[in-house]
Structure 1
Amino acid sequence: MFDNLVSRARDSIAKRKRYNQMVDEIHSLTDRDLADMRASRSEMLYQVRRQIYG
């Protein structure tokens, strides 16, 4: 039981780390970068959250 709890905690930490890295990357994009990609920052953030957390 304790091993399961530790495993879930590690998994959550890893997911949060990956999520934060991707969010930082998206926030570092300039408006020009987004326009060149024809992308929306809010849509990208939504997709990242969906991809990481389901």
Structure 2
Amino acid sequence: MEKCEWKFIIDENENHYESECGGEWFFFEGTTKENQMTLCPFCGEPIHECESIA
């Protein structure tokens, strides 16, 4: 893997990210870029943010 795809999940309970490597992450505010998060904390690969899923 050269990058880890992160999908922004929007559902009725919360908004969070699911990573390609199997992790989940929640920010109280902002996106990965707004929170200066560039590497996946689960696999260490660069984060590639995908389109939102509702």
TM-score by length of 1: 0.28
**Higher strand fraction (1 or 2):** 2
**Higher helix fraction (1 or 2):** 1
TM-score by length of 2: 0.28
